[in-house]
Structure 1
Amino acid sequence: MVNPVHDITEMIRLFTEVATAFPTSAILLLFGALLVGVSVLVFGILTLGGLGSAIVPDTSGRGPQRQG
């Protein structure tokens, strides 16, 4: 059976063990988390922009102006 609370606490314990095993492990773990976090943020913003662009109409309801 899936237990999310247990899985999260186990994940935190394992990441803590990895980060404290060697000094550079903590730095690599931090940079990996930043890389994943920034990429999720950027793609999330792009997704929201794409959804907003699909929902909001391109024009304000008026036709093009006539010249002449």
Structure 2
Amino acid sequence: MVTATGSQIIVKLLEQMGISMVAGIPGGSILPLYDELAKSSITHVLVRQEQAAGFIAQGLARST
């Protein structure tokens, strides 16, 4: 049986969907996801507040 963590599954799915960049604020319970992102080809943009991450996501969605 193959075992994978939730973070590994999420990052693999993001890569399969063609996601090349994510924005967010690392901390607390989401740190395992950031560990997996560091091992992947996905670029992370560090923001200082959640609203900025939303603006980045909206801008990328409109430009692609």
State whether TM-score is above 0.5.
no
Between Structure 1 and Structure 2, the one with more strand by share is: 2
Between Structure 1 and Structure 2, the one with more helix by share is: 1
Please report the TM-score for the alignment, with normalisation by the length of structure 2: 0.31
Please report the TM-score for the alignment, with normalisation by the length of structure 1: 0.29
